[in-house]
Amino acid sequence: MKKTITILAALILASAAVSAQTLTGYDVMKKAKEVPEAKTSSSNATLTIHSKKGSDRIREVIMKSKDYGDVKKEIIVFTTPKDVAGVGYLMFDYEEDANGNKKDSDNWLYMPAMKKTRRIASSGSESEGSFMGTDFTYQDMGERALNKYDYNLLGEETVDGVACYKVECISKAHTEKDPRYISYIAKTDYILRRCEFYDRQNQLHRILTCTDFTTISGYTTAQKMKMENVQSGTWSLIESKNIVYNANDIDDSLFTVAALEKGRIR
């Protein structure tokens, strides 16, 4: 009986090893994309923008999102300091269809000083521009379509003590500002721990690190996300707090341009 159990255990381990070996870069990124998310989220965040000269600008923001199945709607509103208070960003990020195709996101930026809402292109140079003077781009704020990239599993590497898959992602269009990036996806939960972005000259451009992980309502959450521009010497840090998932008090009407312009998000 003992011998039978030993043989079965060996077969199971061998099967798991084969499965791990046959996992592709695409498989890893697909699993990362399929990690369950809360239907709604609400949080406050402190945004620190570190300049090349070493000075810091501090911003406070409110962030809310709601998943409707075929589209995820997100809104970000700046509350302090006074010069940016009321600035809002609204994004509709669409899900991929059964064939892996993804409709371009719809994005709006409201500037209260101008009393005007501007549509932000979801692709091209504008989408790759700086988001509100940070090292994050507008493109970084949404999800990238799986079928727009080719993937290579480069191996495994440890990030902050966590074993990760190292996946190279290469844009099929080759027209992006950072057409290649390397994602470090945790083997345990398929959540991103680090990402390195390379420019058109294949030089390291930016590094995203996700830290201070905690579990909230069953969801593994990075409370800090730092984007460092290694070429300019600047960085931007988002520190989230008061995170609430699956609340029932997030009204659909908040995710509208009208709500942005009327300052309804508090």
pLDDT classification of 21: cutoffs 50, 70, 90:
low
Instruction: Give the model's pLDDT for residue 9.
Output: 46
> What one-character DSSP code corresponds to residue 2?
H
- More confident position, 2 or 116: 116
Provide the residue type at 25 as one letter: G
- Report the range of poorest mean pLDDT among 12-21, 95-104, 191-200: 12-21
Token readout for 11 is 């077969």
Q: How far is CA 146 from the centre of its chain?
A: 14
- Residue range 91-101: average pLDDT? 83
What pLDDT score does 123 carry?
Answer: 67
- pLDDT for res 225: 98
Mean pLDDT over the full length of the chain: 89
Least confident of 97-106, 207-216, 254-263: 97-106
Give me the residue label for tokens 């080759």. Answer: 174
Predicted confidence at residue 30, as pLDDT, reads: 94
Reduced to 3 states (helix: H, G, I; strand: E, B; else coil), residue 54 is: coil
Q: Report the pLDDT averaged over residues 235-246.
A: 98
> In the prediction, which pLDDT does 19 show?
46
Whole-model pTM? 0.88
Over residues 207-211, the mean pLDDT reads 98
DSSP letters, 167-218, are EEEEESS--SSS-EEEEEEETTT--EEEEEEE-TTS-EEEEEEEEEEEEETT
Sign of CA dihedral 93, 96, 100, 101: negative
Structure tokens at 126: 């504008």
Q: Is the pLDDT of residue 207 over 60?
A: yes
- The per-residue pLDDT for range 107-166, each reduced to its tens digit, is 999 999 888 999 987 766 777 889 989 999 998 988 888 999 999 999 999 999 999 999
